[in-house]
Structure 1
């Protein structure tokens, strides 16, 4: 399993961020649309497995298949560009601006949402035979998820909002680690293994992922969930997006960049040896 050293894959992260900022509008939207759609299919797949087996761990173990597919095909999630694009600005790449980063984030958000919503409509049709019957058992489960993770948070007020935000932070800490995982190996097997682990963790722990929620909550509204668009936006999507931004950038992008690209000066060997000798004499005394 070919493995890149941290300094190598962190440089690839910066290069990727720069490339995404300068990508054409068309390509950015197409890649984001496909990423949102594939991740939505994976979410539907995982919920189906969980309902049919009665074991949430089974769904979590298999959910990363969608994430691996979309990154192997070179598509983009909002959670990934949250982490990668700012690194190109911090690294002072020519032509990279805050406006360019915000443009990329906006386009990826729109593309991800369009892709996830497209799959949400398709799956709602499947779950209800074209809206001619009540949702099947999987559709009913999706409706319940939407209620619990909107009005469920709202019932706790500010504490619920804080919990939602922290779940968003923890989610993209893991998801962006998965994005980095796609860069640590030069073969498909290594990439898949490195991506699989953190994605499985975030899904099983019930952390909040803004793109997965772009599928689950519109689906829930179409399938009879007892919550509103306002509930979805205010009590899930917007705080989740903010939490995802903080989690991916603070705990993955900045930490890796600061310690593997802009490393601190090394300690002076003579000075360190002098300190150790002094400690030894003191202890002996």
Structure 2
């Protein structure tokens, strides 16, 4: 069977976290760059579908194609390493220190941003015919998203910030579930199906994903969205990153590790009392009865 039991794939999660902590700077940045670029293309694809068909659900159903591609190719998203690398530290893998963990997170963040920003520039060129005309419908939608998900939160003050943070938490709960789901199967089809479901859910629900936002908001700024870089950082990216970290690590990484790797001491089973059977000895005065033929 292609299904892998939780106790086994949690071990794979820890091994993956250890490997990422020791990965070279070059490989980490390249893999993160490609992950950010592919996910940005998937976001552009989903927005285009939504605009052209008027069906947001259809865009959400097809968005996971990018996520599946990047993970099958072995690329890394910040949301994934938020969940996996700390497990190697908790498991006390030799050499996995806080410094190694923060180094990995920093390099993946930088690579994801560069990849997503590259696609943002490319898409801005496409939707404005090389900046020679006003943005088309897709470009206008990208600008609207940037405004509604920065200034829109700011208009509600602390309540808006809380909503943004919770959406970040819920997002990486689902995204990290998708990351782990890829380890539940040994077949490509099994991996894709398992990844597809939580990614579709997060996108349709409008949860906040830090790497998707690295594409959406720079795109909005390039296309004349009515918000600033400060709005983007304070009223989206920074709270989203924190929410993504807490959501993925708390609801996926730590829960699975605690209950399948470092399980609690099992409760001893009660021993059933069995009455001793006393062998009955023949009486001293009893004699065997002879049977005559």
TM-score, structure 1 normalization: 0.95
Cα distance in 1, alignment partners of residues 151 and 175 from structure 2: 25
The match for 1:70 is: 70
The match for 2:183 is: 183
The match for 1:3 is: 3
CA shift, 1:54, in A, is: 0.4
Q: Which runs of 4+ in 1 moved over 4 A?
A: none
Deviations 1:103-141 (A, max 9, x none): 000000000000000000000000000000000000000
Is 1:193 paired with 2:207? no
The match for 1:264 is: 264
Deviations 1:214-248 (A, max 9, x none): 00000000111100000000000000000000000
CA shift, 1:262, in A, is: 0.7
How large is the Cα RMSD of the aligned pairs? 1.0
CA shift, 1:152, in A, is: 0.2
The match for 2:208 is: 208
Cα distance in 2, alignment partners of residues 98 and 159 from structure 1: 33
Q: Tell me how many residue pairs correspond in the alignment.
A: 273
Bigger proportion of residues as helix:
1
The match for 2:14 is: 14
CA shift, 1:266, in A, is: 1.6
CA shift, 1:70, in A, is: 0.0
The match for 2:230 is: 230
Deviations 1:167-218 (A, max 9, x none): 0000000000000011100010000000000000000000000000000000
Cα distance in 2, alignment partners of residues 264 and 197 from structure 1: 30
The match for 1:25 is: 25
Is 1:109 paired with 2:109? yes
The match for 1:280 is: none
Deviations 1:9-45 (A, max 9, x none): 0000000000000000000000000000000000000
Cα distance in 2, alignment partners of residues 255 and 243 from structure 1: 17
Q: Gapped runs of 5+ residues in structure 1?
A: 275-285
Give 3-state SS (helix, strand or coil) of 1:74's partner: coil
Q: Gapped runs of 5+ residues in structure 2?
A: 274-293
Cα distance in 2, alignment partners of residues 108 and 268 from structure 1: 45
Structure 1 residues 159-178: aligned runs within 5 Å: 159-178=159-178
Structure 1 residues 49-88: aligned runs within 5 Å: 49-88=49-88
Cα distance in 2, alignment partners of residues 101 and 159 from structure 1: 32
Give 3-state SS (helix, strand or coil) of 1:17's partner: helix
Cα distance in 2, alignment partners of residues 43 and 13 from structure 1: 27
CA shift, 1:267, in A, is: 1.8
The match for 1:279 is: none
